[in-house]
Structure 1
């Protein structure tokens, strides 16, 4: 499966990182680059349930490809969500169904940093994306 351009960039960047500290810094930087959601978008209807932190997600279909925007009140989660968006933005609904979340974060060298609750939260975000795309 072809990776979106942002995902390729993320992979190259994270695979060059020397050790966890550098990856943690990169993670925060990716999170800071997330475009802010408007107050109207950060409503209960767009909240992803199943995350310990608050995460809001909106998506729209453009020419058969999904574009998602998201934000979180937690810096680390924002970074992880930004990397998830890099992986899924521009995919079709069918491609979205095939995204392997653990594999993606392992490729980035972040798999070990995902606690069970973070993993569950990111899975909830991906699940919500799939529901929106269905």
Structure 2
């Protein structure tokens, strides 16, 4: 059920044997992600439950889900980029059907993220699901 963009990330992770290489790739994904307009970084778009500052602003166009996101931490920006690849362009009605833990599990992130980062990642996924459900 993953998008082609997420499948591309999963394939890249398969080729990167070392977690340090994967970690660098996550950071690179975050650096490549378009910056979120600072005017959108307000309490209403802030994701609670993250150790870092995280903002997610949804957009629905043509019945498809998308979002802008940003963080003050490079690794978290990379995690947002991965979530963007997982959810961007998916029909709004299908967002909540995506098994994010299983898809993200294919990348082996949970094994290497701190407990705080893992909790933050779960908070971001939950926020995306709630935003899509409310749309």
Q: Report if TM-score (shorter chain) is over 0.5.
A: yes
Alpha-carbon separation, structure 2, partners of 1:91 and 1:14 = 22
Q: 2:110 touches 2:118 (CA, 8 Å); kept in 1?
A: no
Alpha-carbon separation, structure 2, partners of 1:114 and 1:105 = 12
What value does the CA root-mean-square deviation take over the aligned residues?
Answer: 1.4
Alpha-carbon separation, structure 1, partners of 2:103 and 2:112 = 13
Deviates most, 56-65 or 93-102: 93-102
Alpha-carbon separation, structure 1, partners of 2:127 and 2:105 = 21
Regions of 4+ moved over 6 Å: none
Alpha-carbon offset, residue 92 of structure 1:
2.1
1:40 maps to 39
Alpha-carbon separation, structure 2, partners of 1:100 and 1:119 = 16
Q: 2:96 touches 2:132 (CA, 8 Å); kept in 1?
A: no
1:54 maps to 53
Q: 1:52 touches 1:121 (CA, 8 Å); kept in 2?
A: yes
5+ residue gaps in structure 2?
none
How many residue pairs get aligned? The number is: 133
Alpha-carbon offset, residue 131 of structure 1:
1.9
